[in-house]
């Protein structure tokens, strides 16, 4: 198959910036996109080169139009799977198809509707922790809020606060270890023989023990809770069999990681942007007041908060929690004249695509109105991925975030004394030093 070679960044240049890349790879990506164009490769010295792209058309091609040739990369199927197991996020091929078909019904809008009262109760409880008229870091509040909503949606009231805190600690510790492994491949031997990986694998096994206990208690005492665990226990494959205990725990670990990480990040970035745009806060407050007066139930209220939804969509454009999407091509391919060698490790920069002036007018401006036209941006907007592997919990996450932001803005006016929004790119794009002030509304 013909095609020109992708411009390359040398191994020496990569190694020269390794420590900076560990802290924040985005400037390294931006620098090379500007020098080399919308696609470049990095020779890390370990396995196939990494290929980076900020082309929305290439992302659409790989995620949707030719998705059968682009599977999840070893970053998910090997590196993440080591800590999370072989669940929906980390699996591929026939196993992924089987799991997706089994789990999908649990995330239909009708099923999610039944969970929203539980989600809303958890949100109200966590927002009570905000201390008004003080500058506080809001991220820990949202981080706990998002984890609580996932846990309560899965287990209702069957899990205690001590177990929740331990599960949250282990989930976050495993992610930090994974980031070190991915960004410092030349240290993997040290991580392995120095005991770091063994230590974190022991933590993951502790989390599995906690979950195993919860699952077995539910099986022994089925109470018709109507939560996600009930739905997963009742789900059946085509042959009538249920998920094995190990597979169920793998899926729950995935829900913890994917379900709370992205939501807490998105809520924090949205709130930081609102703090810098009081006029948008007031538009949300007016919408919420009207929606509360007119809506007959929680789902009708959520559907009425159209501007609040636009605000969240615009925040996830500027600060996409999933700021890159990884794939590996099964067969050699050509896109836009470039030869994509078989088994290339592809990283699509959603962060760059979402800020590219090719696709967005005034791309650095926070302008929720750009999402008033619905599906206009679908070919270059990927907060939840795209194609068959689009995030299964996207509706759940949007409903939860609309409830959280609407309640927050109805309670408080938000401000900040900081100019810049700080970030920490890990497996997801995380906020840093989200110091804000919350003044109670009269």
Structural domains of the chain, ranges and CATH numbers in brackets: 8-440 (1.10.630.10)
Distance (Å, whole) CA 62 – CA 57: 9
Distance (Å, whole) CA 127 – CA 403: 11
Distance (Å, whole) CA 241 – CA 309: 39
Distance (Å, whole) CA 280 – CA 266: 17
Q: What residues contact residue 222 under an 8 Å CB cut-off, 6+ apart? A: 230, 233
Q: What is the DSSP letter of 362?
A: S
Residue 294 corresponds to which tokens in the numbers above? 């007119």
pLDDT for 47: 65
**Phi and psi for 51 in degrees, rounded to 5?**
-110, 120
Of 164, 136, 133, the closest CA to residue 148 belongs to 164
Distance (Å, whole) CA 182 – CA 45: 13
Of 267, 186, 188, 312, the closest CA to residue 429 belongs to 267
pLDDT mean for each 10 residues of the chain (442 residues): 83 75 85 93 75 96 94 88 90 93 89 89 94 95 92 82 86 85 79 87 92 90 82 93 94 85 95 98 97 93 97 98 94 93 93 95 96 82 93 93 97 95 91 96 86
- Helices (DSSP H) in 47-138: which residue ranges? 56-60, 74, 81-84, 93-103, 109-113, 116-127
Q: How far is CA 341 from CA 29, 41, 47, 206, 415, in A?
A: 21, 11, 13, 41, 50
pLDDT for 176: 83
- Helices (DSSP H) in 184-244: which residue ranges? 188-193, 196-220, 228-234
Direct distance between the N- and C-terminal alpha carbons of the chain, in angstroms, rounded to an integer? 67
With the CA atoms of 141, 147, 151 and 154 taken in that order, what torsion angle do they form, in degrees rounded to the nearest 10? 130
pLDDT for 302: 96
Please state the separation of Cα 97 from the chain's center in Å.
21
- Contact call for residues 440 and 412 (beta carbons, < 8 A): yes
Q: What residues contact residue 257 under an 8 Å CB cut-off, 6+ apart? A: 84, 89, 171, 175
Give CA angle at 72 (59, 142), nearest 5°. Answer: 80
Of 298, 246, 238, 288, the closest CA to residue 408 belongs to 288
Within 10 angstroms of residue 52's Cβ, the number of other Cβ atoms is 25
Residue with tokens 């990506």: 29
Residue 74 corresponds to which tokens in the numbers above? 């070893």
With the CA atoms of 177, 181, 345 and 260 taken in that order, what torsion angle do they form, in degrees rounded to the nearest 10? 10
């Amino acid at each position: 198959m013909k095609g020109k070679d992708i411009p390359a960044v040398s191994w020496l240049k990569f190694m020269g910036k390794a420590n900076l890349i560990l802290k924040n790879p985005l400037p390294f990506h931006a620098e090379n996109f500007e020098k080399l164009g919308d696609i470049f490769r990095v020779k890390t010295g370990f396995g196939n080169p990494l290929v980076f792209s900020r082309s929305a058309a290439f992302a659409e091609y790989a995620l949707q139009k030719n998705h059968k040739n682009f599977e999840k990369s070893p970053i998910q199927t090997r590196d993440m799977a080591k800590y999370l197991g072989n669940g929906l996020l980390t699996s591929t091929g026939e196993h992924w198809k089987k799991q997706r078909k089994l789990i999908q019904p649990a995330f239909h809008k009708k099923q999610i509707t039944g969970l929203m009262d539980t989600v809303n109760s958890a949100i109200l409880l966590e927002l009570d922790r905000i201390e008004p008229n003080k500058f506080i870091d809001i991220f820990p509040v949202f981080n706990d809020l998002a984890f609580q909503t996932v846990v309560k949606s899965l287990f209702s009231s069957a899990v205690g606060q001590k177990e929740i805190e331990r599960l949250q600690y282990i989930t976050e510790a495993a992610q930090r270890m994974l980031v070190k492994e991915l960004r410092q491949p030349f240290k993997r031997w040290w991580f392995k023989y120095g005991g770091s990986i063994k230590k974190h694998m022991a933590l993951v096994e502790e989390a599995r023990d906690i979950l195993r206990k919860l699952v077995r208690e539910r099986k022994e005492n089925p109470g018709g809770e109507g939560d996600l665990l009930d739905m997963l226990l009742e789900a059946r494959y085509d042959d009538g069999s249920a998920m094995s205990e190990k597979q169920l725990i793998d899926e729950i670990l995935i829900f913890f990681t994917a379900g709370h990480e992205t939501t807490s990040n998105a809520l924090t970035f949205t709130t930081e942007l609102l703090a810098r745009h009081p006029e948008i806060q007031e538009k949300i407050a007016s919408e919420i007041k009207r929606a509360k007066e007119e809506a007959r139930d929680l789902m009708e209220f959520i559907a009425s908060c159209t501007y609040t939804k636009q605000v969240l969509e615009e925040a996830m454009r500027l600060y996409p929690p999933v700021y890159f999407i990884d794939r590996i091509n099964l067969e050699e391919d050509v896109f836009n004249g470039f030869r994509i060698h078989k088994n290339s490790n592809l990283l699509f920069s959603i962060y760059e695509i979402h800020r590219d002036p090719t696709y967005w007018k005034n791309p650095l401006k926070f302008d929720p109105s750009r999402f008033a036209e619905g599906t206009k941006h679908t070919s270059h907007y990927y907060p939840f991925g795209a194609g068959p592997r689009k995030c299964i919990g996207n509706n759940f996450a949007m409903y939860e975030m609309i409830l959280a932001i609407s309640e927050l803005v109805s309670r408080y006016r938000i401000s900040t004394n900081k100019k810049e929004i700080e970030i920490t790119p890990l497996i997801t794009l995380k906020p840093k030093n989200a110091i804000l002030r919350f003044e109670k509304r009269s």
